[in-house]
Structure 1
């Protein structure tokens, strides 16, 4: 009975997660394609994109994190069969996306003339600053796309965002090809060409998602309320209450890796380029786990909406198991192919050697990275975002980064020490987040 129940739940999760995973991998492929194509310009250009992207993504990920809990609200609404509430949630989500985008873009422009604070080399700063300014404008379309993706994913229409993302990937590849190297009469823009291609791809993706949701008949019974209707300040406050700590959770985790990239830059261009390659590979595998985490959020929230607390708990732990199995396979791949993977990006032997060393640490932390990502998703399905934020801050900023800094600069471990610190942070986060989900679901069952 238990085994058949496990396979049944795994099937439900896979059906939801499949298109989400394709979309998530596609989103990461945009960064991967940029890294591969920029890698042909040399280690300085690759390091500049790593630096600028690492700083930028901390702000972008906060906005994405602010919107992420809404997926669970849509799923819970679906479980309750309260369809008009979906349109109300969407309207308020768009309002939040616009406001957060304006805030983030303003902050990024304030930071632009002060990028030297991060202690990078002059060559990396010169190239990175213009790249940084261009991708700053991709915040708005990114958050609008994410808003509509949360809606379609939450109601179980996960293929919509998947197809739009695949279009974005293909457009970005073509844009990189013509703008980086100046093909078909376009100017040769180098690193900036990759930034412009990403900006245009994200803008088109947002426009397509908006048009599809508002014009397709399958969404009409959700969008029954006029968009000029007054806002529900209580709902808006509740969405912000859930979104703010979740945004901080995203920032604490991604910010830790961005800070690691900045510290890596203090060792020079080669270790920084190796870090960018390593994080690109690790992120690609992580996107699949993140897709499972989003599916777990939807499943947990849907069952809570139906009032089946036992199945909500089972769905969460089934997702954690699936993610662990998958990341275990990825760990083996990264370890045994650690000398080959970097050659897909660069021919610089110094960079390849550093990346191979970092991939040993990645192979160890893969399973823990998957567990913490899915546990966060399951907790988000329960609208629990405050404690995960505290856990993330403690794991990455009290434990991970300080230990990594001490090992790298005072313990003789060098660049590898930074990644060992990240590993310890992920171990801590995976244990505490899983324990939190266990405690909360037990509490629901007893109530």
Structure 2
């Protein structure tokens, strides 16, 4: 990152940060996509078992990894303030925190996994595959969380192209390992869906080692000498990161877990409706990679300018990112409206499921537009280290407003299954309006500080 002086320079720098993040997010999404698709070719039980395992793991991982995202605004603000000497300490403490979280997840999983699966009433074979898949995946939890810390450090310096390259390297590794372990090729054991868990775990070790090598040996990261000095554990540093990261993690958890809850509630409808819902939600998740990537780019840019006390520039980056997200949201919405049937055909040829998927995809258009506003504003607020409002918004908009509204519409009105989508859209729209007001307030507060500083 470097200081910019015009809108054109800001736009250029913003896209330099954004495009690699977008490729990275799509690459990570593709990794889970290939896990599911390749497991499906191993058998229906393998597909169901991996799907159950992923649905349990995803809210846990996204929520807890959200805690580690606190490092991005911390490092960006330090570099913006030219306090680079403080960065290695912050990164190493984040690594310690990641290790503690990973170990806690493994221990909790060992105690809670069987009771959770037992209560789900699964087919015995599906339950076994889900359990063994998660156990296999657990061997990669520690490197996965450590890699997330290193990625936050790299991205905070605006070097998002590096994490993009690491992801692009890891994707073929993951696909190859899936091929070898799921189907038992070239003398490897045929593990079915469980092999996808081991493939992911090995891939996580690979990307962590690659990331450490880059940070230690390649500039500008090697200039910070992150792994060159031993630091004792500092609970004060952990407290600082948890103060920012815990609300981020809970906000992400509330957002990801709501979709798992809706999927469970959908079980009251017929198989065609459930399949159509899953197909449309899968594609909506794919489109969500655009606003979430813009959100992450905004966090980096805004935090850098806030650290340098250039609050006007921070505000300009906020509006620039939000404007790009809205334009991209409109573009995706129009494309989804025009190619509605073609998208549905990607998932099914069954006419009943196809027609329902097309209807769900129309509601996904409204998802897109709400996310195009809410996600980038969340990123801007994180750049200001203002995270508690986002946490409360996620809880209220999804669990207090969205889910109850959806439940009522689904069970009392003729909307049926579509009622859940309407409820979630209503919650998202409320969150977008609330966050817009919050961002305006934060920017006014910082602008007034700038005025007081100039007077002094």
Does TM, scored on the shorter chain, surpass 0.5?
Answer: yes
* 1:181-330 → structure 2 map (5 Å cutoff): 181-223=183-225, 227-267=229-269, 270-330=272-332
Q: Secondary structure at the match of 1:150?
A: helix
Alpha-carbon shift at residue 344 of structure 1 (Å) = 3.0
Alpha-carbon shift at residue 72 of structure 1 (Å) = 1.0
Alpha-carbon shift at residue 131 of structure 1 (Å) = 2.6
Any gaps of 5 or more consecutive residues in structure 1? none
* 1:355-366 → structure 2 map (5 Å cutoff): 355-366=357-368
> Deviation per CA, 1:213-256, whole angstroms, max 9, x where unpaired?
12335323312685423344433211111111111111111111
Alignment match, 2:106: 105
2:92 touches 2:227 (CA, 8 Å); kept in 1? no
Q: Partners in 2 of 1:176 and 1:224 — Cα distance?
A: 33
Higher RCO (CA < 8 A, seq sep 6+): 1
1:172 touches 1:198 (CA, 8 Å); kept in 2? yes
Pair 225,48 (structure 1): closer, same or farther in 2 beyond 3 Å? closer
Alpha-carbon shift at residue 445 of structure 1 (Å) = 0.4
Q: Partners in 1 of 2:83 and 2:163 — Cα distance?
A: 22
* 1:31-50 → structure 2 map (5 Å cutoff): 31-40=32-41, 45-50=46-51
Alpha-carbon shift at residue 116 of structure 1 (Å) = 4.3
Pair 209,388 (structure 1): closer, same or farther in 2 beyond 3 Å? same
Q: Secondary structure at the match of 1:262?
A: helix
Alignment match, 1:26: 27
2:215 touches 2:226 (CA, 8 Å); kept in 1? no
Alignment match, 1:72: 73
Alignment match, 1:51: 52
Pair 168,264 (structure 1): closer, same or farther in 2 beyond 3 Å? farther
The alignment's TM-score, normalised by the length of structure 2, stands at: 0.90
1:182 touches 1:189 (CA, 8 Å); kept in 2? yes
Pair 395,12 (structure 1): closer, same or farther in 2 beyond 3 Å? same
1:300 touches 1:378 (CA, 8 Å); kept in 2? yes
Alpha-carbon shift at residue 376 of structure 1 (Å) = 0.9
Moved more, 110-119 or 85-94: 110-119
Alpha-carbon shift at residue 100 of structure 1 (Å) = 0.9
- RMSD of equivalent CA atoms: 2.4
Q: Partners in 1 of 2:179 and 2:348 — Cα distance?
A: 17
2:72 touches 2:152 (CA, 8 Å); kept in 1? yes
Alpha-carbon shift at residue 276 of structure 1 (Å) = 3.6
Alpha-carbon shift at residue 74 of structure 1 (Å) = 1.1
1:257 touches 1:422 (CA, 8 Å); kept in 2? no
Moved more, 365-374 or 329-338: 329-338
Alpha-carbon shift at residue 329 of structure 1 (Å) = 1.4
Q: Secondary structure at the match of 1:255?
A: helix
